[in-house]
Amino acid sequence: MASEMFRLDGKIVAVVGAGSGIGEACALAAGAQGAVTVCLDLKGESAAATAEKIRAAGGRAEAGVVDLVDTEGTAAALEKVVADHGRLDGLVCTPAINVRKPILKYSLDEFDKVVNLNLRGNFAALMAAGRIMTAQKSGSIVLFSSIRSVATEPGQSVYAMTKAGIIQLAKTAATEWAQHGVRVNAIGPGVIETPLTAPIKNNPDWYNAYAMKSPMNRWGQPSEMAGPTIFLLSDAASFITGTVIYADGGWLAADGRFTPPGM
Contact 68, 128 (CB under 8 A): no
Which one of 106, 159, 210, 246 is the catalytic residue? Answer: 159
Q: Which phi-psi region, left, alpha or beta, contains residue 137 (left: φ > 0; alpha: ψ -120 to 50)?
A: left
- Please give the backbone phi and psi of residue 40, each rounded to the nearest 5 degrees, phi first: -120, 140
Spatial separation of the C-alpha atoms in residues 120 and 68, rounded to whole Å: 8
Instruction: Name which of 2, 23, 5, 11 is nearest 225 in CA terms.
Output: 23
Burial 50-62 (b: 16+ CB within 10 A, else e): bbebbeeeebebb
What is the DSSP secondary structure assignment for residue 258, as one 8-state letter?
Answer: P
Spatial separation of the C-alpha atoms in residues 110 and 118, rounded to whole Å: 12
Contact 147, 167 (CB under 8 A): no
Q: Which residues pair with 65 in a beta bridge?
A: 41
Active site residue 207: no
Catalytic center residues: 159
